[in-house]
Amino acid sequence: MIRIEALTKRYDGVAVVEDLTLCVDRGELLVLLGGSGSGKTTTLKMVNRLIEPTSGCVRIAGRDTRETAGPLLRRNIGYCFQQIGLFPHMTVGENVAITPSLLGWDEGRIRRRVEKLLELVELPVGDFRDRKPSALSGGQQQRVGLARALAAEPDVMLLDEPFGALDPLIRDRLQASFRRIRSELGLTALFVTHDVVEAMILGDRIAVLEAGRLAQVGTPRELLEAPANDHVAELMRTPLRRAAVIEDLGAGPG
Amino acid sequence: MSEQLELLPGYLTAHLQLSLAALAIGASVSIPLGVWITRRPRLEPGILGAASVIQTVPSLALLAIMVPVLAALGAQTTRFGLELRGIGFAPALIALSLYSLLPILRNTVAGIRSVDPALVEAAQGVGMTDRQRLLHVELPLGAPVIVAGVRTATVWVVGTATLSTPIGATSLGNFIFSGLATRNDAAVLVGCLASAGLALLLDGVIRTLEVGVRERRRGLAVAATVVLTGLFAYAGATLALSRSGSGPVVRIGSKTFTEQYILAELLARQIEERTGAATRTVPSLGSTVAFDALVGDDIDVYVDYSGTIWATIMKRRDLPPQRDEVLRTVGGFLAEEHGVHLAAALGFENTYALAMRKDHARELSLRSISDLARVAPALEIGGDYEFFQREEWRALESRYGLSFGYERSMDPALMYGALANEEVDVISAFSTDGRIAAYDLAVLDDDLGVIPPYDAIVLVGSRTAREHPQVLSALRELDGAIDASTMRLMNQRVDGDGASPSEAALQLLSLVRDEAR
């Protein structure tokens, strides 16, 4: 569904992403995992052309993204990011309705779609549609963000640490909601995170990026069992290492 | 007071026309320009800098400088069938529009810059084009800051529009300028209150509109829109009506002192009664603005003084000859160089004179300017705005070797009071000013004959003289009709007794007619 081919981005000659080739199958969720500066966000933004690649290309459903004007391309790609970016002067309903209205859907269809999406992200329509984003909690805001990204029934979803700024309990609940939504809709998605546990919970496959290059790509199990290098091995072991620390605390000194 | 209130609707309407037109132009230039430079950050310092420079020009100067600029442009554009007037509405409109640029421009840039980068990214992410992002996200979110800029501009423009009176645009400033010159505090007060009230009203309406739109309070937004639209419609309709005009109107200019207001009213009545033509006064013009306006056909008639033409227009620096000789020379010069007709010499002189408190002059035993020159370094002189720039002053300085301890420019309306209160020692007085007698002042003798004679002369523009010869002949009747003591009396009626210039003019006209009979 998404083919990233020899994608490279340089700023003033310095490569941020170098010669990256990846593909995401239809209905698959691929996690881009890496620390800050690994090039994962840059890669994501090159898929919907918020950033233009220096070289290489991205194909979605076989079509080179450069053939479509940026704004038109992005109307068919859901985009959800950590800062959420709900428009404060619009209601929840209006925020969700943006992309469908840009696509020229008729009002009835937009209204039904908004209702369905708010239901999907577990926000009761009657309570939430006419509220302003400022009257929502962080978790509720990101649910709206998710609904907005899904509004125009996109072929592909791009998510950039969407749950990164939420507290752990809310984060768990949103991850669970997201898994359910994904399986209901059969979404194809590219998901950026630096959180190994999140990557393992949500990802069908994980691509580990290191300084702009692909270190390894595979299922969580493959990465755990056959890490390509020490860095990947170390990274995949962090959740277990932490769990061990917590278990020790549980055992206690006495 | 009631006479002032009668004038209020006309002045207020003119003020509203000028302010709204300037704001509309200012906003429709600055908001797009502001948006444009947020897309091209490299141009920002240059464009904002230029707008700031315009802002630093004192507003009165910016207005005044538009007169010669437009006159020069007008000379170019008449060829293309366009008519740009050197004085009046057009230069005032351009200056005020320029003046409104900076606050709106700066706030537009700041308003758009203030939008959270995450929202810009979200707008791109949902598939908005640059234009859609601007219309649906950046402008609505930047609107409070942008509207604040428009409101600042509104208050500035409405206030500054009062200064467009000296360049011939009617405004609430007509109250203020004529009120200051004729010591009519009620007029000044009416002008100030009306202009402040108008500024507050417009500011309030714009604020209400913005709050109504932002908070989606429909009633508020609709009410504000109705008021604003109504004001624009009224201003536009009245402007169109005044432009379409109704037959020829003889426009009579006046400068900014009492005698000029009286004489303008006098000429107006004389022309109306003798020819049946309609007249309009264009009061409170700057001294050289009046002459330029006559030559540029922006006014048809006004009263000037032979010595002023001699010194400031002909720029003669030699010792002036006798009164009749100056009059002849000036008349010939005006006709030859500018096609201006000297219709009548009214019969009195209003010369520049140096005046002091009588007791002070006696104490220092001063009778003439030669006497004054000896003690001048210890004294302070007050003069009207133009006095120290005038050729006459330069001639006085050089011929008498005059050098005062301090030269203070001030409004002529305040000069006499300052002298009486011993805040200055000498002033540049006008010889026909009623206040010379009222304040018991001594006029020092110009023993070297440096100050040229200042016969009051009625000047008529070339087009008017050609197309309306009956106006010229009506004005010729006034030749020699007013003597200095009569004029001084009339000035005193206004400055001292609180009569209005038109009342004084009426009385003067009947005196003139009695004399003639």
Q: Is B50 near chain A, with CB under 8 Å? A: no
One domain for residues B304 and B415 = no
pTM for the structure as a whole: 0.81
Scan residues 111-140 of B and list those with Cβ closer than 8 Å to A.
Answer: 116, 118-119, 121-129, 132, 136-137, 140
Place of tokens 């999907």: A120
Instruction: Test A71 with B137 for CB contact under 8 angstroms.
Output: no
Higher per-residue confidence, B70 vs B126? B126
The strand pairing partners of B251, in sequence order, are B280
Tell me, what CATH number does B384's domain have? 3.40.190.120
Q: In chain B, how many domains are there?
A: 3
Backbone phi and psi for residue B78, each to the nearest 5 degrees, phi listed first: -60, -30
Note the pLDDT of residue B78: 56
Tell me, what CATH number does B86's domain have? 1.10.3720.10
Interface test with B, best of A96, A102, A192 (most B CBs within 10 A): A102
Instruction: Give a yes or no: residue B448 inside a domain.
Output: no
Note the pLDDT of residue B76: 62
Note the pLDDT of residue B62: 87
- Rounded to a whole number of angstroms, the distance from the CA of B116 to the nearest CA of chain A is 8
Q: Is A87 near chain B, with CB under 8 Å? A: yes
Instruction: Give a yes or no: residue B467 inside a domain.
Output: yes
Backbone phi and psi for residue B402, each to the nearest 5 degrees, phi listed first: -75, 135
Give the C-alpha separation, B264 to B185, whole Å. Answer: 21
One domain for residues B402 and B417 = yes
Contact call for residues B426 and B356 (beta carbons, < 8 A):
yes
One domain for residues B222 and B254 = no
Instruction: List CB contacts (< 8 A) between A86 and chain B.
Output: 122
pLDDT band at B77 (very low <50, low <70, confident <90, very high): low
One domain for residues B234 and B259 = no
Instruction: Give a yes or no: residue B236 inside a domain.
Output: yes
Per residue in B419-441, pLDDT tens?
999 999 999 998 888 888 888 89
Instruction: Give a yes or no: residue B357 inside a domain.
Output: yes
Instruction: Give a yes or no: residue B81 inside a domain.
Output: yes
pLDDT band at B517 (very low <50, low <70, confident <90, very high): low
Note the pLDDT of residue A47: 95
Q: Is B511 near chain A, with CB under 8 Å? A: no
One domain for residues B399 and B439 = yes
Q: Is A74 near chain B, with CB under 8 Å? A: yes
Tell me, what CATH number does B494's domain have? 3.40.190.10
What mean pLDDT is reported for chain B?
89
Q: Is A50 near chain B, with CB under 8 Å? A: yes
> Containing H/E element for A191?
strand A188-193
- Rounded to a whole number of angstroms, the distance from the CA of B47 to the nearest CA of chain A is 29
Give the C-alpha separation, B209 to B204, whole Å. Answer: 9
Q: Is B216 near chain A, with CB under 8 Å? A: no
Note the pLDDT of residue B129: 94
Instruction: Test A81 with B126 for CB contact under 8 angstroms.
Output: no
- Rounded to a whole number of angstroms, the distance from the CA of A123 to the nearest CA of chain B is 21
Of B244, B279, B308, the one marking the end of a domain is B244
One domain for residues B420 and B331 = no
Q: Chain A to chain B, count of Cβ pairs less than 8 Å apart?
A: 63
Instruction: Test B122 with A88 for CB contact under 8 angstroms.
Output: no
Per residue in B86-125, pLDDT tens?
778 888 999 999 999 999 999 999 999 999 999 999 999 9
The strand pairing partners of B342, in sequence order, are B459
Of B227, B244, B261, the one marking the end of a domain is B244
One domain for residues B54 and B121 = yes
pLDDT band at B169 (very low <50, low <70, confident <90, very high): confident
One domain for residues B336 and B401 = no
One domain for residues B346 and B356 = no
Please tell me the least confidently modeled range out of A64-68, A144-148, B72-76, B299-303: B72-76
Tens digit of each residue's pLDDT, chain A (254 residues) = 999 999 999 999 899 999 999 999 999 999 999 988 899 999 999 999 999 999 999 999 999 999 999 999 999 999 999 999 999 999 999 999 999 999 999 999 999 999 999 999 999 999 999 999 999 999 999 999 999 999 999 989 999 999 988 898 999 999 999 999 998 899 999 999 999 999 999 999 999 999 999 999 999 999 999 999 999 999 998 888 888 888 888 776 64
| Burial (Cβ within 10 Å: 0-12, 13-18, ≥19) of residue B81 | exposed
Percent of chain B past pLDDT 70, that is, above it, reads: 96
One domain for residues B179 and B276 = no
Instruction: Give a yes or no: residue B449 inside a domain.
Output: no
Both tokens of residue B255?
A: 């400068």
Q: How far is CA B442 from CA A186, B348, B420, B429, B430, in A?
A: 104, 19, 12, 10, 12
pLDDT band at B80 (very low <50, low <70, confident <90, very high): low
Instruction: Test B121 with A81 for CB contact under 8 angstroms.
Output: yes
One domain for residues B16 and B151 = yes
Instruction: Give a yes or no: residue B6 inside a domain.
Output: yes
Higher per-residue confidence, B247 vs A14? A14
- Rounded to a whole number of angstroms, the distance from the CA of A80 to the nearest CA of chain B is 8
Of B443, B462, B481, the one marking the end of a domain is B443
Instruction: Test B122 with A87 for CB contact under 8 angstroms.
Output: yes
DSSP string, A121-160: TT--HHHHTT--GGGS-HHHHHHHHHHHHHTT--SEEEEE
pLDDT band at B327 (very low <50, low <70, confident <90, very high): very high
Instruction: List CB contacts (< 8 A) between A89 and chain B.
Output: 140-141, 214
Instruction: Give a yes or no: residue B120 inside a domain.
Output: yes
Instruction: List CB contacts (< 8 A) between A159 and chain B.
Output: none
> What letter would DSSP give residue B453?
P
Count Cβ atoms below 10 Å from residue A74 Cβ, excluding itself: 26
One domain for residues B129 and B240 = yes
pLDDT score of B149 more than 80: yes
Q: Is A11 near chain B, with CB under 8 Å? A: no
Instruction: List CB contacts (< 8 A) between A88 and chain B.
Output: 119, 141
Q: Is B247 near chain A, with CB under 8 Å? A: no
Per residue in A95-104, pLDDT tens?
999 999 999 9
Range of the domain at B187: 2-244
DSSP string, B107-148: HHHHHHHTS-HHHHHHHHHTT--HHHHIIIIIHHHHHHHHHH
